[in-house]
Amino acid sequence: MLSAESLKQIDIELAKFPADQRRSAIMGALRIAQTEKGWLAPETIAFVADYIGITAAQAYEVATFYNMYNLQPVGKYKLTVCTNLPCALRGSVDTAQYLQEKLGIGFGETTPDGKFTLMEGECMGACGDAPVMLVNNHKMCSFMTDEAIDQKLAELC
Ligand code: FES
């Protein structure tokens, strides 16, 4: 279900915790599985849960709580726009609107070519850089004006 390399990485996560606290490695294990698979299908979550030694329901509790876990397939680039208050006060509603128009999709949707998925996100702790957008859960993009969006999309295309 997962590659030997991913299992090796999960073993490293498991080694960070006492033997009777294996469930503490679930966040890292799900992240590793998602990196390999692109998203967390129910059978992937169940496999990871079994590998860790917890129930699938316990793994779901984590996977459904944090919005960085993809519970359905996403495009090559998942763009998450923060719409919490500080970002909204600095124009994130316009940022989201501009992205929706440029990509022709709404929140939670993927472009027909499978390139972009647009998501609405919670505060990313970078309010001073508002409005902010996260690419694939890792790359933070600051001060997302229309021009900055054009530039970022051109980079990704
Ligand atoms: S409100 Fe957007 S990063 Fe904090």
Domain range enclosing 19: 4-65
| 122 assigned to some structural domain | yes
- 157 carries a ligand binding annotation: no
72 lies in some domain: no
Q: Residue 143: CB partners within 8 Å, gap ≥ 6?
A: 129, 130, 131, 132
What spacing in Å lies between the alpha carbon of 78 and ligand 1's midpoint?
Answer: 18
Q: Domains in the chain: how many in total?
A: 2
pTM, to two decimals: 0.87
CA dihedral (109, 70, 113, 134) positive or negative: positive
Tell me the pLDDT tens digit for each residue of 47-95: 999 999 999 999 999 999 998 999 999 999 999 999 999 999 999 999 9
Shared domain check, 91 and 140 = yes
Amino acid symbol at 84:
N
Tell me, yes or no, whether 90 and 56 share the same domain. no
Q: What does the DSSP 8-state code read for residue 14?
A: H
C-alpha of residue 97 to centroid of ligand 1, in Å: 17
Instruction: Indicate the helix (H) or strand (E) that contains 141.
Output: strand 139-141
Question: For 13-45, how does the pLDDT look when each residue is reduced to its tens digit (9 = 90+)?
Answer: 999 999 999 999 999 999 999 999 999 999 999
Same-domain pairing of 105 and 55: no
Q: Pull the structure tokens for residue 53.
A: 């030694």
